[in-house]
Amino acid sequence: MPVLKYNETPAHQVKEGVNRKLLYLNDLMTVIIDFTNGPWDEPDAPHSHPHEQTCYLAEGEIIFICEGEPDQILKAGDMFSVPSNKLHTIQLLSKTARLVDSFNPIRRDFI
């Protein structure tokens, strides 16, 4: 589907307080992730994947943690990127947050 209307698209619950919505083509995926379970006392477990990733923080406040880089406190309007196979994670500082991730190639594990 070439259009995702936010209020008309059901979310997939990843875990309690974390929901995502997907839009994708053959080689590019955009994922809206809504968090309602913050703030967190600790960061989520670090992970890596072969996909290149960019992220726009549309709402909320997080700490972005990426292997080999200083931790960054990010607020709405900020962005980050993650190269392939680099360990990274976030820690939610606000009660809610919305991240808009883009992946290349697409995350087949999300479909």
Q: What CATH number does the domain containing 15 carry?
A: 2.60.120.10
The owner of tokens 């709405």 is: 76
pLDDT over 90 at 14, yes or no: yes
Long-range contacts of 15-23 (CB under 8 A, 24+ apart): 20/110, 22/110, 22/111
Cβ-contact 56, 72 below 8 angstroms: no
Q: Assign 110 to helix, strand or coil.
A: helix
Q: Report how far residue 26's alpha carbon sits from residue 47's, in angstroms, rounded to the nearest whole number.
A: 24
pLDDT per position as a tens digit, 72-107: 999 999 999 999 999 999 999 999 999 999 999 999
Say yes or no to pLDDT of 41 above 80: yes
Give the pLDDT score at 2.
Answer: 84
The answer to the question of residue 43 being in a domain is: yes
* Residue 93 resides in a domain: yes
pLDDT at position 1 over 90: no
- pLDDT-based confidence at 67, cuts 50/70/90? very high
**Total structural domains in the chain?**
1
| Residue 25 and residue 66 in contact, taking contact as beta carbons nearer than 8 Å | no
Domain that holds residue 101: 6-110
In a domain, 91, yes or no: yes
Assigned domain for 1 exists: no
Residue 82: its pLDDT value, please? 98
